[in-house]
Amino acid sequence: MKNKLQNLKQEVLSQLAGIADIFDIEKVEKKYLGKKGELAAVFKELKSLPEKEKKAVAQQAQQLRDEVMDKIVELKNKFGSIDEKDGFIDVTLPGVKIEGGHLHPLTQVQRDLERIFLSMGFKILEGPELESDYYNFEALNIPKTHPARDMQDTFFIDQKNKAGEYDLVMRTHTSNVQVRAMEKYGAPLRAVALGKIYRNENIDASHEHTFYQIEGLMIDERISLANLAGVLKEMFSGFYQKEVNIRMRPGYFPFVEPGLEVEMSCVFCNGRGCSVCKKTGWVEMLGAGLVHPNVLRAGGIDPDKFQGFAFGTGIERLAMLKYGIDDIRLFNSGDMSFLNQF
Ligand code: FA5
């Protein structure tokens, strides 16, 4: 058996030495290392050997197999794989698509809005999501006992503030940034604040408990509703990439006087009437108004000298109208077939 292995070794080494291309390697590999190859036959024969001889022969066969394997790997590296032989590349093979990541649609929409307002000279601000009762309500002309507190379902925080009082809430709107911005920058001021807000609401296709808003604030010596109309028209036309009209009707928010509900001509039917605008040609877009004198005062601004407008709207709703999305819950669903469309 030992002699047989010796002969086999010489045979395979001489064959390996004569190899000229990748096809020869495959043949030799199959003949000696294959399942039905010469070395497999030797291992099978081991069973019939006397116990004493078995161990030594097994070792010898193992060594030969390792040696042949190493040599074959070396030769494969030298001659390359079959696909690359003679420098041949099959350009008709389909490419491998590398999946790239991308921004979440709501982040994209926020960036679009920020670009529009930056071009009109607005500052981009942020405010805290965990907010004091003061900035979320009181400073906005909503005292503790005011019924307007019920307009938004608030998540109150069961924890005391630094002064030992229970006065923390999850902000119910981005309007909490209004007085913070006035205190920090004074007047004149042009700013938008975008961010996440929280409401204790039941979820359905158009309501979330956690969603995004954009707040706009412009304060100067002669600001009127005409300025508000101009800025909103610019915002909607830029965002929906088409000329739109807006119209205003009275609305109530304690922090503005007069308060307004603003509607935009339907971007789907250009105001002719369709299912999106319920055949009216108009879509309700946001709450707005002229900043209430009490709010200016809270921000340290003299209401006899300065006026301002403020508006606020939901970013998901803006996005839903732009892309024809009929369920707000899709944004947080983690559904890649939805997200990959953006
Ligand atoms: C406010 O939050 C006011 N702070 C807006 C404002 C700012 C008025 C400045 C005047 C001056 P309202 O509660 O209506 O208003 O919410 C504003 C927008 O948030 C709505 O128009 C809607 O687009 C969006 N929104 C409200 N509730 C939800 C909800 N549950 N899910 C998704 N979006 C919502």
Per-residue pLDDT of 36-79, as tens digits, reads 898 888 888 888 888 888 888 888 889 999 999 999 888 888 87
Q: What is this structure's pTM?
A: 0.74
pLDDT confidence of 80, banded at 50, 70, 90? low
CA-based nearest residue to 214, from 186, 236, 229? 236
Q: What are the backbone dihedrals phi and psi of residue 127, each rounded to the nearest 5 degrees, phi first?
A: -135, 170
CA 237–ligand 1 middle distance (angstroms): 20
Res 81: pLDDT: 59
Do the strands 246-250 and 256-265 form a parallel or antiparallel pair, or are they unpaired?
Answer: antiparallel
Count other C-beta atoms under 10 Å from residue 158's C-beta. 6
CA-based nearest residue to 175, from 92, 295, 338? 295
**Residues near 286 by Cβ (< 8 Å), separated by ≥ 6?**
232, 261, 262, 311, 312, 313
Q: How far apart are CA 226 and CA 232, in angstroms?
A: 10
Spatial contact of 129 and 171, defined as CB atoms under 8 Å apart: yes
Statement: residue 173 has pLDDT above 70: yes
pLDDT confidence of 26, banded at 50, 70, 90? confident
Look at the domain 105-339 and name its fold. Answer: BirA Bifunctional Protein; domain 2 (3.30.930)
Q: Quick: pLDDT tens for 267-325.
A: 989 889 898 889 999 999 999 999 999 999 999 999 999 999 999 999 999 999 999 99
pLDDT confidence of 156, banded at 50, 70, 90? very high
Q: Is 325 left (phi over 0), alpha (psi -120 to 50) or beta?
A: beta
Q: How far apart are CA 189 and CA 203, in angstroms?
A: 36
For ligand 1, which residues put their CB under 6 angstroms from it? 152, 173, 175, 199, 201, 207-208, 211, 213, 215, 253, 256, 286-289, 310-314, 316-317, 328
Q: How far apart are CA 304 and CA 286, in angstroms?
A: 27
Atom of ligand 1 at shortest range from CA of 175: 4
Instruction: Show me where the domains of the chain are located.
Output: 2-84, 105-339
Instruction: Report the nearest-CA residue for atom 7 of ligand 1.
Output: 312
The CA-based dihedral angle spanning residues 135, 136, 138, 140, taken in that order and rounded to the nearest 10 degrees: 90
DSSP string, 215-250: EEEEEETT--HHHHHHHHHHHHHHHHTS---EEEEE
Mean pLDDT estimate for the chain: 91
